[in-house]
Amino acid sequence: MADTGKSVISRRGILGIFAATAVVAAPTYSNAFGLLRGAGDVRRIRMYSGRTGESIDTIYWIEGEYIPEVLKEINHFMRDWRNDQTLKMDARNFDVMAAAHRLMDVNEPYMLLSGYRSPATNAMLRSKSSGVAKNSLHMKGQAADLRLKSRSVGQMARAAKACSGGGVGTYSRSNFVHMDCGPVRTWGG
């Protein structure tokens, strides 16, 4: 093939471009998948952290595939900010978060209160509050505590419950919703 001076962009090249500017994950649970199916071939997650001042607005899934480089970025974003430890997060949780976000029809990013928690952090939090589970899914990278200014805790919890992708904890007094990709269950009020 002769060099014509024109560049050809491959599918992998496009994925790389998206990976450089975005972060997202694909649903693996039937309800979460069904809710995101209408989103097309691209899935996105948007969050910011008041703890670190960081934000992420990224596409993590394109044409049926997770983007590994982007998942690494999300893992870093969701790290235990108290000790800077990271863990490979379970991408199924991103799917639940993205599906719930889509159901609420909002552009506002989630505020991430807690993603990964190291065992030391979880033990410290548990010593201060009875609401912290001894074997929290946060320590396995399977949970996130989230808040939205434009939606009530009740609205967020209903959207997450509709996904049937894991646990949903409603913490009205603290103004956040826990979403995880563990067994389907609900608590709080």
Whether the Cβ atoms of residue 95 and residue 165 lie closer than 8 Å to each other: yes
Q: Which residues contact 2 (CB under 8 A, 6 or more apart)?
A: none
Q: What CATH number was assigned to the domain covering residues 11-188?
A: 3.30.1380.10
Q: Are 68 and 18 in contact (CB under 8 A)?
A: no
Residue 74 has pLDDT above 50, yes or no: yes
Domain segments of the chain as ranges = 11-188
- Spatial CA neighbour of 22 closest among 78, 48, 61: 61
Per-residue confidence band for 33, with pLDDT thresholds at 50, 70 and 90: low
Q: pTM for the complete prediction? A: 0.79
Paired strand residues for 30: none
Q: How many CB atoms sit inside 10 A of residue 104's CB?
A: 16
Backbone angles phi, psi at 3, to 5 degrees: -80, 115
Instruction: Give the containing element (helix H, strand E) for 126.
Output: helix 119-128
Tell me the chain's radius of gyration from C-alpha atoms: 17
Q: From CA 97, how far away is CA 32, in angstroms rounded?
A: 9
pLDDT at 31: 54
The mean per-residue pLDDT over the stretch 99-106 comes to 95
